[in-house]
Structure 1
Amino acid sequence: MNDTGTHPSEPHGQGLISKLNWLRAGVLGANDGIVSTAGLVVGVASATTSTTPILAAGVAGLVAGAISMAAGEYVSVSTQRDTEKALLSKEKRELAEEPDYELAELAQIYRAKGLSPETAHQVARELTAHDAFAAHAEAELGLNPNELTNPWQAAASSAVAFTCGALLPLLAILLPPPSWRVPVTIVAVLVALACTGSISARLGGSNPRRATARVVIGGALAMAVTYGIGQIPGLSGH
């Protein structure tokens, strides 16, 4: 226990929430890499025992998926960042043009949280005196002006997470002898999906069994469908 009455190892604040969100996004990105690449290589492996087309399909799927994930995340987070910057600019302009109204608005926010009118007004005055822009950004918008979302970081994180996930089925399909490729890949993928589903559920505070079952069933269904496609007469090279 430190002098503020808080246990030193106890996490607090938006920083923890942000880190958990990033971690959960990474787990989901890896899960996407596992499922999409597994479906692709299992489908090709069911049509041919030749290593070259399996490797080509797997690598192409990994690269295309990683680029797609990065691009999608970059666009999404860039849009979010633009919105955040616009809201902050509007708040800064309002503070410059109507400081008294903004002070009253801040006090009202703290009254709505349960403070007495006198205490709420005092808190609003002190926060405004310390850093009016930061105080209003946090209270009204839930934003920290110094910690806006970074689209490049989000894009890189998504690409790395997808690549890490995609490597597992790619290695699982290439390393065993031809007769064991599909069974080994299916087992490896389902185990990995069970792990990512459980981790994601625990980070989100949901039921691990239910979330894991959904992910595993989805992955198994994807591999079953692509395996069946590879067995269609005319596609199979067996």
Structure 2
Amino acid sequence: MTELLNRPNADCPADCPGVADADVVTHEPGTGERLNRLRAAVLGANDGIVSTAAVVVGVAGATSDHTTIAMSGLAAVIGGAVSMALGEYVSVSSQRDSERALGISADLQVNPWSAGIASFLSFLLGAALPFATALLAPVAWRIAAIFAVTLLALALTGALSAKLGEAPVARSVTRIVVGGSLALAATFAIGSLFGAQVG
């Protein structure tokens, strides 16, 4: 079955005229799985950075209470990591079911468990940056520090994902940094408005 999938024309025998060795696409076992795990890790890191930063900057806009910010941030980190992992697991499970239905070799199928675990761990790593910044930065510089660390981290992951996907780096970085900036600005504005009304 793998040989048929790797031929340019599955109806054509391996030795039919016009089929050169260079035209035959080969895949190493596990290549798709490694790419799938890498994709899940990059998405998890990006989501961890943006969602956690948005929560802590929004709460910090409403209050300067260290405990409130810490508890809100921790809830965002744990809940977001579990949610991201579950979403990846379900999505990749559907993909694997389709691959099985198509008769793709088990060696070439994606693994939902590895995608979910990669997403969970990378979310935690990404979330750790804005979360630690919210806890450690001086109150006077907290908001600015969260913005700076978050946008720098997003720029780095945007460049990495562009390199991996062989896409234009500048466009990818701009897209993710602008999106992250809008998310932070929106949650900070809402938090500030809520804090002013409560105060």
TM-score range, shorter chain: 0.7 to 0.9
Identify which of 48, 56, 60 aligns with 1:45.
60
- Equivalents in 2 of 1:20, 1:153: separation in Å? 11
- Equivalents in 1 of 2:197, 2:167: separation in Å? 42
Secondary structure, counterpart of 1:230 in structure 2: helix
Q: Is the 8 A contact 1:42 1:227 kept in 2?
A: yes
Shift of 1:237: 6.2
Secondary structure, counterpart of 2:107 in structure 1: coil
Identify which of 207, 224, 227 aligns with 2:185.
224
Q: Structure 1 pair 146/21, CA: closer, same or farther in 2 (3 Å)?
A: closer
Higher relative CO (CA 8 A, sep ≥ 6), structure 1 or 2?
A: 1
Larger Rg: 1
Shift of 1:21: 4.1
What amino acid is aligned across from residue 159 of structure 1 in structure 2?
A: F
- Equivalents in 1 of 2:39, 2:84: separation in Å? 15
What amino acid is aligned across from residue 56 of structure 2 in structure 1?
A: V
- Equivalents in 2 of 1:210, 1:57: separation in Å? 33
Gapped regions of structure 2 (runs ≥ 5): 1-25
Percent identity between matched residues is: 49
Q: Structure 1 pair 42/87, CA: closer, same or farther in 2 (3 Å)?
A: same
Alignment of 1:23 with 2:38, yes or no, is: yes
Deviates more, 1:146-155 or 1:18-27: 18-27
Alignment of 1:66 with 2:81, yes or no, is: yes
Shift of 1:77: 1.4
- Equivalents in 2 of 1:201, 1:165: separation in Å? 17
Deviates more, 1:152-161 or 1:166-175: 152-161
Shift of 1:84: 2.1
1:173 is matched with 134
Alignment of 1:212 with 2:173, yes or no, is: yes
- Equivalents in 2 of 1:148, 1:68: separation in Å? 23
Q: Structure 1 pair 237/170, CA: closer, same or farther in 2 (3 Å)?
A: farther
Gapped regions of structure 1 (runs ≥ 5): 1-11, 89-142
Alignment of 1:139-178 (within 5 A): 143-178=104-139
- Equivalents in 1 of 2:101, 2:42: separation in Å? 31
What amino acid is aligned across from residue 38 of structure 1 in structure 2?
A: A
Q: Is the 8 A contact 1:173 1:181 kept in 2?
A: yes
CA distances 1:151-189 after superposition (whole Å, capped 9, x unpaired): 111111111111111111000111011111111111111
Aligned length: 173
Q: TM-score, normalised on structure 2?
A: 0.80
2:22 is matched with none
Q: Structure 1 pair 151/37, CA: closer, same or farther in 2 (3 Å)?
A: same
Instruction: Report the aligned-residue RMSD.
Output: 1.9
Q: Structure 1 pair 229/221, CA: closer, same or farther in 2 (3 Å)?
A: same
